[in-house]
Structure 1
């Protein structure tokens, strides 16, 4: 069964890039986003499977490389935001690493862009749900992978369209930047999005955690101390007074 999945590398404090530039005058590679982005994705860039997919030599044969290989093998189609496409179009070159149909969510129409290696970019102006619908049809029974950026992933989560989330947590604190789970999820004070951890894989440079997204749930007050036994802050205050 086709699942909608997502992969994202983040710092321990939840940032997937450095801060976004107030005005893009030099391109994102020379702006404040790039240092944080390349730090949290270092594990992938060093992996042999990622480098092979990009047409580069070298890299390490490791559990990280196996994770990259598994990720590419599972995806039959991709969905991404227009900003990510714009940033990657020229660096990806004539043979982008996807080797599958890619559906770009955008407000700016453009003709389908065919590339070598089986990659095509279709620009979808009818919204996120339509892009995912087209990707499902094109995936051939494999997964639809949401490949970024973070803003698009938040939209997919908020719309209840994501089935599986793989977080790759780098052991670094960035302190500031673009926060993956910041505003944009459409959550109120009394609800949340529940996830169930299915797999944890450790390596020296990153921890890979796979979650099944089970959906929205109401948050309820924990009143287990209502029987008369004080718990939490009230108990601490009482003990302090004794």
Structure 2
């Protein structure tokens, strides 16, 4: 059985999206700076970006991430795997090439059940945004947390851990690797309820 992996980029001060998120600034003002390591980085960083898709059978995202990302993701939907969108607004599935976005309105547990069924023996990756990741952590549904920390103090924006994630989520660091444009931290979540 695959793992449930929460993966997100953030600034050194915990920002996962800049201020003033809009269709013009889908990751908030200057929020693209948080992901430059993926697209303009070194070969080592490209390896970390590729790891996101290795062994992954399905993805889960929040509705805001879908709304802001669906156009930039292009005609193939980027993921090329099933994507489950946690939302409270019903929507018919969206198909972009090999990527199907299914909208789940009955909570994170349901989204995870559907994603695990689609992924089979492969992993399910929770892509964000921050609110969605916190919901999964609070529910005890995450096996592994991967943080890509960009050497930047953002100052303002959406903080990853600005709300409750559960009573002391205990982590065991399993990997640390520094590349020129980010520090990549991997933790096993010790008090997962899965």
TM-score between the two structures when normalised by the length of structure 1: 0.75
Give every structure 1 segment of 4 or more consecutive aligned residues whose post-TM-superposition deviation is greater than 2 Å.
27-32
Runs of 5+ unmatched residues, structure 1: 22-26, 48-59, 217-242
The partner residue of 2:113 within 129, 133, 137 is 133
Equivalent in the alignment of 1:40: 34
The structure carrying a bigger helix percent of its residues is 1
Counting only pairs closer than 5 Å after superposition, residues 73-152 of structure 1 correspond to structure 2 as 73-116=54-97, 118-152=98-132
Structure 2 residue 24 is matched with structure 1 residue 29: yes
TM-superposed CA distance for 1:140, in Å, is 2.2
Counting only pairs closer than 5 Å after superposition, residues 158-237 of structure 1 correspond to structure 2 as 158-185=138-165, 187=166, 191-215=167-191
Q: Please tell me whether the aligned partners of residues 20 and 178 of structure 1 are also in contact (alpha carbons under 8 angstroms).
A: no
1:207 is paired with a residue of what secondary structure?
Answer: strand
Mapped to 1, the partners of 2:170 and 2:66 lie a distance apart of: 30
1:8 is paired with a residue of what secondary structure?
Answer: strand
TM-superposed CA distance for 1:19, in Å, is 2.2
1:34 is paired with a residue of what secondary structure?
Answer: coil
Larger Rg computed on CA atoms: 1
Q: CA 1:31/1:120 → structure 2, altered by over 3 Å: closer, same or farther?
A: closer
Q: CA 1:146/1:31 → structure 2, altered by over 3 Å: closer, same or farther?
A: closer
Runs of 5+ unmatched residues, structure 2: none
Aligned length: 192
1:16 is paired with a residue of what secondary structure?
Answer: strand
TM-superposed CA distance for 1:41, in Å, is 1.2
Mapped to 2, the partners of 1:197 and 1:32 lie a distance apart of: 28
Mapped to 2, the partners of 1:141 and 1:72 lie a distance apart of: 14
Q: CA 1:31/1:162 → structure 2, altered by over 3 Å: closer, same or farther?
A: closer
| Aligned residues: CA RMSD | 1.7
Equivalent in the alignment of 1:11: 11
1:13 is paired with a residue of what secondary structure?
Answer: coil
Mapped to 1, the partners of 2:178 and 2:64 lie a distance apart of: 31
